[in-house]
A and B are shown apart, each in its own frame.
Chain A
Amino acid sequence: MKKILVVDDDPYILMSLEFLMKKEGFDVKVARNGTEALDIIQQETPALVLLDIMMPDMDGYAICKHIKGNKKLQHIKVVFLSAKSKESDIQKGYDLGASLYVTKPFSTRDLMKKVRELLAAA
């Protein structure tokens, strides 16, 4: 069972994505901030992280950088989910090694499709 980590500080988004991933049959972990997210990544090494950018303690870019800068972790696929929709923000996400950058609000159906594809390719 593939492990997926969902990181977002908004409880309703977290709740929704957790529901969807579980229904898809993934092993879902959730984190409400950057610190929690780093802990879970370290301990569980998920196959994919759905990552919000703006969070209270650290931003999603820093987490992505941490993942991609670590040999043991860099295989983890990162999908940014963010309200930041500027071209430069998106570019920055891809530059840091993200597999996908999805701007909010998004279609849950499309998102799930993309996640499936990404995990199938791995």
Chain B
Amino acid sequence: MSNWIVIGTALAYLFLLFGIAYYAEYRMKKGKSLISNPYVYALSLGVFCTAWTYYGSVGQASTRGIDFITVYIGPTIMAALFWPMLRKIIRICHTQRINSIADFISTRYGKNFSLAVVITILCVLGIIPYIALQLKAISASMGILAKSGPEQSGLSGFLGDNTFYISLALAAFITLFGTRSIDASEKHEGLVAAVAFESVVKLLAFLAVGLFVTYGIFNGFGDIFTRASADLSLKKLFVLEENSTYSSWFFLCMLSMLAIVFLPRQFQMGVVENTNESHVKKAIWVFPLYLLLINIFVLPIAFGGKLIFAQTDVHADTYVLSLPLHYGADILSLLTFIGGFSAATSMIIVETIALSTMMSNNIATPLLLTSKRFRSGREGSFSKIILNIRRFSILLIILLAYMYDKMVALHISLVSIGLISFAAVAQFAPALIGGIYWKQASQKGAMAGILLGFVIWFYTAIIPSMANAGIIGNDMLLNGLFGQSWLRPTALFGLEGMDSISHCFFWSMLFNIGSFVAVSINSGKSDQERYQAEIFVDIFRHANSPATGTFWKGTASMPDLSDLISNFLGRDRAQKLIRQYAQRHQIPLDQKNADPRMVNFAEKVLSGVIGSASARIMVGTVTKEENIRIDEVLRILQESQQMIELNKELRRKSLELQKATDELRKANDQLRDMDEIKDEFLYTVTHELRTPLTSIRAMAEIIYDNPEMEADEKTRFISGIIRETERLSHLISQVLNLERYESGRQKLNSSAVQLNTLLNNIIDSVEPLAMEKNIRIIRNWPDAMYLLQCDAALIEQVVYNLLTNAIRFSPENHGIIKVSIRNNHDEWEVWVEDNGKGIPADLHTLIFDKFFQARNQTLRKPEGTGLGLAICKKIIDMHGGKIWVESEEGKGSKFIFTLPLQ
């Protein structure tokens, strides 16, 4: 394949990345973020899979069998801890505007400048070889495709080296999309989109190769494994080696567990670029799934390569590419190359961004800030300088990696470089994890742990690999430092029988954790440290407290502060931010001295631009800080915390109170309604009582005052008194009846009753009344049995009330009342019809209310208590029947009630 096709493809792919990144940023500006999506987040974590995964896993599997999988088991286990741990780190970063792992640790330990510098240097030392490894993978794969060894092009100097130009193109890409905004804590949407895309590309490409090897060259998994197990040299790969394998499995799993969070690129993608904490939830299963998919074909390709290239010198690290090439599948080979290229570039891009941010924020900027000349720079000029520092850092990192690749990396396999980097970043784990869960952890402890860990790491990992590469002599490996055999780098303190990485990990972590804990317990802490410890460990309690951040007590003039922010962000942006913050927290801006919260805010804004340590220094330049005692700070923090909790409690209480009040009011309303009803009932009852009472009193007084009155007149008055007394007792018994029915105290006394007999009896008893008004009552039912179960006395009362009403309202002399029985399915219907003046439709239901008449008008019906129909309704209800009226004005009324046959 021509060199130009390979380079052209690589460049075309890079252009595609540019396009995707541009598109993502374009979408972001339109407010339709492409990357604010849990799947994109999970895919961006796939930056974990580098060229090491892509090429190196197969290489490792072909010599050590299933061992390669440890590097993916660790992250899978860690994914389960994402929610409790990664989310906490994310929350801390977002509230503190932290933009790198160095920033994180230094912020936790009192915004310590030297800690940030140490971590940055160690990151660069640990990661540059890893980046170099990716460049090596790129150049090697290009070499294989172009059928010319990488050494040959390398010999003609870097100007003739494809990798050099690819590196420059990458540096351009990173500069373009990684240094867009001065605020490094802002999201790089274009980059994230590109990285997520690359995760898809490398997965698809690897799956394509896997399918090609498994089903194209061989006849499926079964075929490959059968043939491999028949091969004696491969058979041993099917089992775990006996000695040291279990311990190395354990340590490699641990190591990769830490790597998935603490590698700068993972920290960048998983924490800094995270747009939404809830995306972590999705990543908990999507990311392990991704790792599973990308590893499915590792063993088949490794075994396939071993079987096919058995007698050749094809390196196992190149099987992924060599296999399709060997079978002349050119397009697939090119796709495979792109897959490997994407794995390498995504790693380089993200790692470089992370490192360059650390370098510029933690080393270059603080150095510059100490220079007076720089500080007196004009408004906005800082931002340009800082961006340039970051750009320069990017170029520097890429070039360093390129040089490393050219000079050192030739003899080290992909896997070992990767693991050495893992072990390097694992040194941050105690300080970081301890820092977010253990308030006692101190800056001195962190520094001691990290430094000691790194010394051990360097001694047990770098020295042996340098010796193996022939850069230094073998003497130290064999005889130990100063000839002390217990100081041999691969068997420290006489610990033998472990593989070198497990050995390195074990000792470095032991010393790291040991010194971290011991020093932390025994060292004092600065106020700032204790304050930060409080915030980091209890971030979920403090996240919403306005007091998080450095605590500044003392005075800064508002104009100075505003100038400071303007220097870094430009006046417009600075003014906008200040105004927004002031508005949100209702801080007056017209005062000369800045509000302490505003000072905090200024520091946080600057942290995003120049890192927290530098930001503290810068804000310090405009603040006359008074000595502030830590207990005071903690008190204020706790107070604000207590205030929040108090407020919450208060809100909860007042809600409860509100609820209780509402319920009380409702109950009260009900009671009042009932009271009103009762009042009205009472009023109506007394009103109804007053009339007969008035007559009785008047008549009694007349008789008493007029003893001389004539006898027949006296009789008239006395009989009046008797009649009115009867009326009174009737009314009272009606009221008591109704009350008994309504309260449910009246029990039905049911028996078998002949309905027609019952009707006959009542009609007989009221007929004399009807006769007085010359009204006719018609009994309208055929001779038959009308049996039902009911309380006869009560039903008699209903019929009596309906009939007396009918008589009352029927016209004298030509009134006709008709009583009928109808059978309607499982119930009897009784009709009582009259030819009176009828009832308007709107009163058809109201008339069954007690005292309806008295209540609804000032006119009085001729006679009656006003309770008759209410009592009827109650009795029929008790029997499970219905009662209603059908009537039109002027056309008489028809009262109907039903009774179930039962």
> Is B784's CB within 8 Å of the partner chain A?
no
B residues 689-709 with Cβ under 8 Å of A?
A: 690-691, 693-699, 701-702, 705-706
> Is B32's CB within 8 Å of the partner chain A?
no
Are A108 and B716 closer than 8 Å at their CB atoms?
no
Are A108 and B698 closer than 8 Å at their CB atoms?
yes
Are A83 and B702 closer than 8 Å at their CB atoms?
no
B861 to chain A, nearest CB (A): 7
A2 to chain B, nearest CB (A): 20
In the complex, besides A12-B724, A16-B695, A19-B702, 6 extra interface pairs with C-beta distance below 8 angstroms are A12-B699, A15-B699, A20-B702, A61-B858, A83-B691, A83-B694
A83 to B724 Cα, complex, angstroms: 15
List, in ascending order, chain B residues with CB within 8 A of A85's CB.
686-687, 690
* CB-nearest residue of chain B to A89: B858
Are A12 and B720 closer than 8 Å at their CB atoms?
yes
The interface residues of chain B, by DSSP majority, are classed as helix
Q: Which stretch of A41-49, A66-74, A99-107 is in the interface? A: A99-107
> Is A75's CB within 8 Å of the partner chain B?
no
0 or 1 for each of A83-116: is its CB under 8 Å from B? (1 = yes): 1111000000000000000011111110000000
B685 to chain A, nearest CB (A): 11
A residues 12-26 with Cβ under 8 Å of B?
A: 12-13, 15-17, 19-20, 23
> Is A5's CB within 8 Å of the partner chain B?
no
Given A19-B702, A83-B691, do A108 and B697 touch, yes or no (CB 8 Å)? yes
Are B716 and A54 closer than 8 Å at their CB atoms?
no
A56 to B808 Cα, complex, angstroms: 13
List, in ascending order, chain B residues with CB within 8 A of A117's CB.
none
List, in ascending order, chain B residues with CB within 8 A of A83's CB.
687-688, 690-691, 694
Q: Which of B693, B694, B723, B724 has the most CB of A within 10 A?
A: B694
Are A84 and B724 closer than 8 Å at their CB atoms?
no
A57 to B862 Cα, complex, angstroms: 10
Q: Which of B690, B693, B696, B713 has the most CB of A within 10 A?
A: B690
> Is B165's CB within 8 Å of the partner chain A?
no
The 8 Å CB contact of B860, one of A13, A16, A55, A105, is A55
> Is A58's CB within 8 Å of the partner chain B?
yes
Are B698 and A23 closer than 8 Å at their CB atoms?
no
Given A15-B720, A84-B687, A109-B701, do A54 and B859 touch, yes or no (CB 8 Å)? yes
Q: Can you list 22 residue pairs at the A/B interface with Cβ under 8 Å? A: A10-B691, A12-B723, A13-B695, A13-B698, A15-B699, A16-B698, A16-B717, A19-B713, A23-B706, A54-B854, A55-B859, A56-B861, A58-B859, A60-B858, A61-B858, A83-B688, A83-B691, A85-B686, A103-B690, A105-B693, A106-B694, A107-B701
List, in ascending order, chain A residues with CB within 8 A of B697's CB.
105-108
Are A86 and B683 closer than 8 Å at their CB atoms?
yes
Q: Which of A56, A60, A107, A108 has the most CB of B within 10 A?
A: A108
Q: Which of B683, B697, B717 has the most CB of A within 10 A?
A: B697
Count of CB-CB pairs between chains A and B under 8 Å: 81
Are B724 and A54 closer than 8 Å at their CB atoms?
no
* CB-nearest residue of chain B to A55: B860
List, in ascending order, chain B residues with CB within 8 A of A23's CB.
706
Are A104 and B693 closer than 8 Å at their CB atoms?
yes
4 closest Cβ pairs, A-B complex: A12-B695, A83-B690, A16-B698, A59-B858
B residues 196-225 with Cβ under 8 Å of A?
A: none
* CB-nearest residue of chain A to B724: A12
A28 to B713 Cα, complex, angstroms: 18
List, in ascending order, chain A residues with CB within 8 A of B702's CB.
16, 19-20, 108
* CB-nearest residue of chain A to B723: A12
B696 to chain A, nearest CB (A): 8
Are A105 and B690 closer than 8 Å at their CB atoms?
yes
Are B860 and A9 closer than 8 Å at their CB atoms?
yes
A17 to B720 Cα, complex, angstroms: 13
A84 to B855 Cα, complex, angstroms: 11
List, in ascending order, chain B residues with CB within 8 A of A53's CB.
858
B772 to chain A, nearest CB (A): 15
B397 to chain A, nearest CB (A): 93
Total residues of chain B contacting the partner, CB 8 A: 29
B652 to chain A, nearest CB (A): 46
* CB-nearest residue of chain A to B706: A23
* CB-nearest residue of chain B to A57: B859
* CB-nearest residue of chain B to A105: B694
List, in ascending order, chain A residues with CB within 8 A of B706's CB.
23
The interface of chain A, by Cβ under 8 A from chain B, is 9-10, 12-13, 15-17, 19-20, 23, 53-61, 83-86, 103-109
B residues 712-763 with Cβ under 8 Å of A?
A: 713, 716-717, 720, 723-724
List, in ascending order, chain A residues with CB within 8 A of B690's CB.
83, 85, 103-105
Q: Which of B705, B717, B859, B862 has the most CB of A within 10 A?
A: B859
List, in ascending order, chain B residues with CB within 8 A of A108's CB.
697-698, 701-702, 705
A9 to B861 Cα, complex, angstroms: 10
List, in ascending order, chain A residues with CB within 8 A of B717's CB.
15-16
List, in ascending order, chain B residues with CB within 8 A of A9's CB.
860, 862
List, in ascending order, chain B residues with CB within 8 A of A84's CB.
687, 858
Are B720 and A54 closer than 8 Å at their CB atoms?
no
List, in ascending order, chain B residues with CB within 8 A of A61's CB.
858
List, in ascending order, chain A residues with CB within 8 A of B723's CB.
12
A77 to chain B, nearest CB (A): 20
Are B860 and A56 closer than 8 Å at their CB atoms?
yes
B684 to chain A, nearest CB (A): 10
A118 to chain B, nearest CB (A): 19
* CB-nearest residue of chain A to B701: A108
B761 to chain A, nearest CB (A): 31
A14 to chain B, nearest CB (A): 9
0 or 1 for each of B450-490: is its CB under 8 Å from A? (1 = yes): 00000000000000000000000000000000000000000
List, in ascending order, chain A residues with CB within 8 A of B693's CB.
104-105
B376 to chain A, nearest CB (A): 86
Are A56 and B701 closer than 8 Å at their CB atoms?
no
A59 to B853 Cα, complex, angstroms: 13
A56 to B705 Cα, complex, angstroms: 32
The 8 Å CB contact of B694, one of A13, A56, A59, A86, is A13
A61 to B857 Cα, complex, angstroms: 12
A108 to B859 Cα, complex, angstroms: 25
Are A104 and B694 closer than 8 Å at their CB atoms?
yes
A20 to B67 Cα, complex, angstroms: 125
List, in ascending order, chain B residues with CB within 8 A of A10's CB.
691, 694-695
Q: Which of A53, A54, A106 has the most CB of B within 10 A?
A: A54
List, in ascending order, chain A residues with CB within 8 A of B683's CB.
86
List, in ascending order, chain A residues with CB within 8 A of B724's CB.
12
Given A20-B702, A104-B690, do A54 and B858 touch, yes or no (CB 8 Å)? yes
* CB-nearest residue of chain A to B861: A56
B720 to chain A, nearest CB (A): 5
A10 to B696 Cα, complex, angstroms: 12
A34 to chain B, nearest CB (A): 9
* CB-nearest residue of chain A to B860: A54
Q: Which of A9, A15, A17, A83 has the most CB of B within 10 A?
A: A83
A2 to B696 Cα, complex, angstroms: 27
B residues 829-868 with Cβ under 8 Å of A?
A: 854, 858-862
A57 to B687 Cα, complex, angstroms: 19
A57 to B837 Cα, complex, angstroms: 14
A82 to chain B, nearest CB (A): 9
A16 to B699 Cα, complex, angstroms: 6
Are B691 and A104 closer than 8 Å at their CB atoms?
yes
A56 to B861 Cα, complex, angstroms: 5
A106 to B698 Cα, complex, angstroms: 8
B855 to chain A, nearest CB (A): 12
* CB-nearest residue of chain A to B858: A59
List, in ascending order, chain B residues with CB within 8 A of A103's CB.
690
A87 to B780 Cα, complex, angstroms: 51
A86 to B695 Cα, complex, angstroms: 20
List, in ascending order, chain A residues with CB within 8 A of B854's CB.
54
A56 to B864 Cα, complex, angstroms: 13
A103 to B693 Cα, complex, angstroms: 12
B615 to chain A, nearest CB (A): 76
* CB-nearest residue of chain B to A59: B858
